[in-house]
Amino acid sequence: MTTAVYPGSFDPFTNGHQDILERALGIFDKVIIAVVRNPGKNPLFTLDERVEIIKNSIPAGSNIQVECFNGLLVDFMKKVDSRIIVKGLRAVSDFEFEFQMALMNRKLNPEIETVFLMTSADYAFLSSSKVREIAVLGGEVKCLVSPYTDEVLRKKLAGKQSGGENVEKD
């Protein structure tokens, strides 16, 4: 059984992420969505919220697992006994960064391979940061995320705007 790991911050999980997941499932027997706590980012959603959003946005199935992790991806890969990383690419600018990450991961563990999947043309423009920006400015994101994500995103932003609690940092 071939297990691939699809890592990312997924803040929030978009239809573009869903597209890459579905295509990875067509190649690998199992995909673990690895939600990373990235200290360099200030996420809108907590780590637990992001995991919950993904679990409620993807089809239920034994060949999809959602986990969170801290630290190095190569350490997580060893823990889940996988040597394949799946990354989605939208543009050449994505490739530069992801190529460097793939080489570094391979340097840290020569058994690890990174597989790049080009996004579908329908999602080439889509990023979590753009979804957050549009939502914060009051725009519609229903066509960019799952219905569950849209609902959670609207509730989160309504809470922030009405003087609710600050967003919890990871």
23, 37, 41, 154: which is the annotated catalytic residue? 41
Residue 90 annotated to the active site:
yes
Q: Is 112 within the bounds of a domain?
A: yes
What pLDDT sits at residue 162? 55
Domain enclosing residue 69, as ranges: 3-161
Encode pLDDT of 117-142 as tens digits: 999 999 999 999 999 999 999 999 99
Average pLDDT for the chain: 91
Whether 166 maps to a domain, the answer reads: no
Known catalytic membership, residue 155: no
Q: Which of 9, 17, 50, 57 is catalytic?
A: 17
Q: Which of the following is catalytic: 50, 128, 132, 146?
A: 128
- Residue with structure tokens 């967003």? 167
Is 10 a member of any domain? yes
Answer whether residue 170 is part of any domain: no
Q: Is the pLDDT of residue 165 over 60?
A: no
Q: Does some domain include residue 110?
A: yes
Mean pLDDT of 34-51: 89
What is the chain written as a DSSP string? Answer: --EEEEEE--TT--HHHHHHHHHHHTTSSEEEEEEE--TT---SS-HHHHHHHHHHHS---TTEEEEEE-S-HHHHHHHTT--EEEEEE-SHHHHHHHHHHHHHHHHH-TT-EEEEEEPPGGGTT--HHHHHHHHHTT---TTTS-HHHHHHHHHHHHHHHTT-PPPPP-
What total of structural domains would you count in the chain?
A: 1
Classify residue 129: in a domain, yes or no: yes
Token pair of 35, please?
Answer: 């939600």
Does residue 163 surpass a pLDDT of 60? no
Q: Which of 10-14, 22-26, 40-44, 50-54 has the lowest mean pLDDT?
A: 40-44
Query: In this predicted structure, what is the pLDDT of residue 155?
Result: 93
Predicted local distance difference test score (pLDDT) of residue 38? 76
Which of 23, 37, 78, 90 does the annotation list as catalytic? 90
* Entry pTM: 0.90
Is there a catalytic annotation at residue 79?
Answer: no
Q: What are phi and psi of 87, to 5 degrees?
A: -130, 140
Q: Could you tell me the CATH number of the domain that includes residue 68?
A: 3.40.50.620
Annotation says 17 is catalytic:
yes
121: in domain: yes
